[in-house]
C-alpha cells in the first residue's frame, strides 16, 4: 500500500513539470491516496493487535474463543452453574463451590493425613479440595453405584431410578466396581449377566433365580431337615444349588421322576405328559 502511494506521488511529480493544472489534480489525488493508505494501515494494525491480544492475554482457560477464570470437572450429568459446559467440564468466571489457589472444586472435606486426599489438593489447614471422580448424586460424591431395583435393600442412598450410591462396598469389589454377588464359574458361558474375572469368578448384581445368604443359586427345593441337600441347606429346610444331577422341571430340580399317567395321584409336580416329579 505504501509503495503504491509512493508510485502515485512520483507520477504526480512528473506530471507537474509538464502540465501544472493536471499536476494540481494529481497532487490532490495523491494526498487522498496517502491519507487512505495511512488509515487502512492503522486499521490493519488495530485488528491484528486485537486478535493476538485476545488470544494471548487469556492466562486461565480458553474455551470456544472465550476466556474463563475456572475450569471445573462436573461430569456428563453434573450441573454447570453460571458457565458454559463442555462434555465433562464447566467453564465459568464464578465458582459456586470451593475456591482454592484460584481453582474451583466441587467438594471440600477435613482430612487427618495427606494419604486421605489422594484424588484432590490438600490445603495447609488440612482441607482436601476435590471434584467427584466416581459417582455424584444429590450433591454428594460416592465411590460406588449399583442397580438394586425396587425391592432389594440399599446400604447407602437410593435414587428414584433404583440405584444405590455408597462409599463402602458391603459385598464384593472388582476393578473399582461393587457387586452384590460373586460366584466361581470358570468360563464366560456361565457368567451371562456379570463380569468374569481372570481367576474364574463371576461378579454380578442381578439374581435371576434364588437368593440365599447374599449368594444367587440356580435351584431351590424344599428337602426338610433330614433329606440330603446337594447344595446349601437353609434353616427352613430349603436346599439351594446350581447344578442339578437329576431331573429338571419348571426350573426346579427333583430327585425322582416317574410316570403316573393322566389320572393317577402324584405326590409332587405333575407334567402334562403324565410324569410325576418329587424329592420323596
Q: 28 falls in which pLDDT band (50, 70, 90)?
A: low
Least confident interval from 101-105, 149-153, 200-204, 246-250: 149-153
User: What's the pLDDT at 40?
Assistant: 64
**Contact residues for 227 (Cβ-Cβ < 8 A; gap 6+):** 279
Q: Report the distance separating Cα 145 and Cα 235, nearest Å.
A: 32
Instruction: Tell me the pLDDT of the chain averaged across its residues.
Output: 78
Q: Answer yes or no: are the C-beta atoms of 5 and 33 closer than 8 Å.
A: yes
pTM: 0.45
CA-to-CA dists, residue 190 to 120, 199, 247, 278, angstroms: 40, 14, 20, 27
Span 261-277, pLDDT tens digits: 988 999 889 999 999 99
Distance CA 70, CA 165 (A): 28
| CA count, 13 A, side-chain hemisphere, 199 | 3
Listed ranges 6-10, 192-196, 225-229, 259-263; the one with the highest mean pLDDT: 259-263
- Enclosing H/E stretch for 24: helix 20-56
pLDDT at 260: 93
| Cell numbers for 88 | 465433562
The pLDDT of residue 123 is above 90: yes
Which residues are registered as beta bridge partners of 66? 63
Which residues touch 66 (CB under 8 Å, ≥6 apart)? 84, 91
Question: Where does the pLDDT of residue 253 fall: very low under 50, low under 70, confident under 90, or very high at 90 and above?
Answer: confident
What contacts 127, CB < 8 A, 6 or more positions away?
A: 100, 108, 109, 110, 111
Helix orientation angle between 2-18 and 20-56, rounded to the nearest 10 degrees:
170
Q: In 116-146, which positions are buried (b, 16+ CB within 10 angstroms) versus exposed (e)?
A: ebeebebbeeebbbbbbeebbbeeebbbbbb
CA distance 146 to 170: 11
Residue 50 predicted with pLDDT over 80? no
Beta bridge pairs of residue 220: 240
pLDDT at 53: 45
Q: What is the mean pLDDT of residues 70-78?
A: 76
Contact 151, 162 (CB under 8 A): no
| pLDDT at position 11 over 70 | no
Interval 214-240: pLDDT, tens: 777 888 888 888 888 878 899 999 988
Provide the residue ranges of all domains of the chain, joining segments of one domain with +: 2-56, 67-133, 252-280
Backbone torsions φ then ψ of 56, nearest 5 degrees: -80, -25
pLDDT at 166: 87
pLDDT value for 44: 66
pLDDT of residue 257: 92
Average pLDDT over residues 143-160: 82
Give mean pLDDT, residues 5-17: 45
Amino acid at each position: 500500500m505504501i509503495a503504491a502511494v509512493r508510485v502515485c506521488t512520483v507520477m504526480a511529480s512528473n506530471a507537474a513539470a509538464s502540465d501544472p493544472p493536471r499536476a494540481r489534480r494529481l497532487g490532490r489525488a495523491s494526498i487522498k491516496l496517502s491519507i487512505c493508505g495511512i488509515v487502512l494501515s492503522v486499521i490493519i494494525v488495530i485488528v491484528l493487535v486485537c486478535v493476538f491480544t485476545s488470544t494471548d492475554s487469556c492466562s486461565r482457560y480458553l474455551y470456544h474463543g472465550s476466556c474463563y477464570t475456572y475450569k471445573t470437572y462436573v461430569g456428563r450429568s453434573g450441573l454447570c452453574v453460571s458457565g458454559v459446559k463442555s462434555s465433562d467440564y464447566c467453564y465459568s468466571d464464578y465458582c459456586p463451590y470451593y475456591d482454592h489457589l484460584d481453582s474451583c472444586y466441587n467438594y471440600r472435606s477435613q482430612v487427618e493425613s495427606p494419604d486421605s486426599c489422594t484424588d484432590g489438593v490438600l490445603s495447609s489447614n488440612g482441607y482436601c479440595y476435590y471434584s467427584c471422580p466416581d459417582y455424584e448424586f444429590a450433591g454428594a460424591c460416592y465411590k460406588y453405584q449399583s442397580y438394586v431395583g425396587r425391592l432389594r435393600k440399599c446400604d447407602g442412598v437410593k435414587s428414584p431410578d433404583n440405584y444405590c450410591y455408597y462409599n463402602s462396598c458391603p459385598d464384593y469389589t472388582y476393578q473399582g466396581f461393587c457387586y452384590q454377588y460373586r460366584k466361581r464359574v470358570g468360563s464366560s458361558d456361565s457368567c451371562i449377566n456379570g463380569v468374569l474375572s481372570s481367576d474364574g469368578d463371576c461378579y454380578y448384581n442381578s439374581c435371576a433365580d434364588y437368593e440365599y445368604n447374599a449368594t444367587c443359586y440356580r435351584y431351590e427345593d424344599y428337602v426338610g431337615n433330614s433329606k440330603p441337600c446337594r447344595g446349601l441347606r437353609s434353616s427352613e429346610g430349603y436346599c439351594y444349588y446350581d447344578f442339578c444331577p437329576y431331573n429338571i422341571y419348571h426350573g426346579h430340580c427333583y430327585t425322582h421322576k416317574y410316570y403316573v399317567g393322566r389320572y393317577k395321584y402324584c405326590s409332587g409336580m405333575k407334567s402334562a405328559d403324565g410324569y410325576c416329579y418329587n424329592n420323596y
